[in-house]
Amino acid sequence: MGDTGELNQADEKLLSRMQDHTIVGCKKLKVQGDIVGKMVELAPRELQPDDAIDWALQYLEEMKPNDVIECMMMQQLLAINQMSLECSRRSLLSGQTPKDRDIDLQHAIRLMNAFSTMSMALDKRRELKGVLK
């Protein structure tokens, strides 16, 4: 959203699309808009802007974040997943040297390990929050 506090046309469109969705744990509209905006940036490149907004909203609804921290963790998980898939895809390209293929595979494995660690951290955080409530 704009730094001036005024809504531009893109912000208004995003907010109107968000009205039919509930992003659990995010009460402030500006925070919701910022989170959805960041998720839209992670949407598949081939999606049109309206479809990218829907994709982001559906992703957040499916993951059911409990608060803003969980929303950020989910953004990180999505980014890590996309990067690991890209590195895996690159490792399969023909014409690469064995060294380049190994580098791509090493990056993919590190990213997959980071994804696993982040997933476990999210699960643990949710378990602790459940206990603390």
- Which range of 24-28, 33-37, 78-82, 127-131 scores highest in mean pLDDT? It is 78-82
| Paired tokens of 116 | 């696993």
- Which range of 36-40, 61-65, 112-116, 129-133 scores highest in mean pLDDT? It is 112-116
Specify the 3-state DSSP secondary structure of 56.
helix
- Given a cut of 50, is residue 118 above it in pLDDT? yes
> Cβ(85)–Cβ(104) under 8 Å?
no
Crossing angle of helices 98-132 and 68-91, rounded to 10° = 160
Q: Domain limits of the chain?
A: 1-65, 67-133
Q: Tell me how far apart the alpha carbons of residues 65 and 25 are, in angstroms, rounded to a whole number.
A: 6
Specify the 3-state DSSP secondary structure of 8.
coil
Strands in the chain per DSSP E: none
Residues 83-99: tens digit of each pLDDT: 999 999 999 999 999 99
Q: Tell me how far apart the alpha carbons of residues 111 and 117 are, in angstroms, rounded to a whole number.
A: 10
Crossing angle of helices 29-42 and 49-63, rounded to 10° = 110
Residues 16-55: tens digit of each pLDDT: 666 656 665 667 777 777 888 888 888 888 999 888 888 8
- Given a cut of 60, is residue 133 above it in pLDDT? no
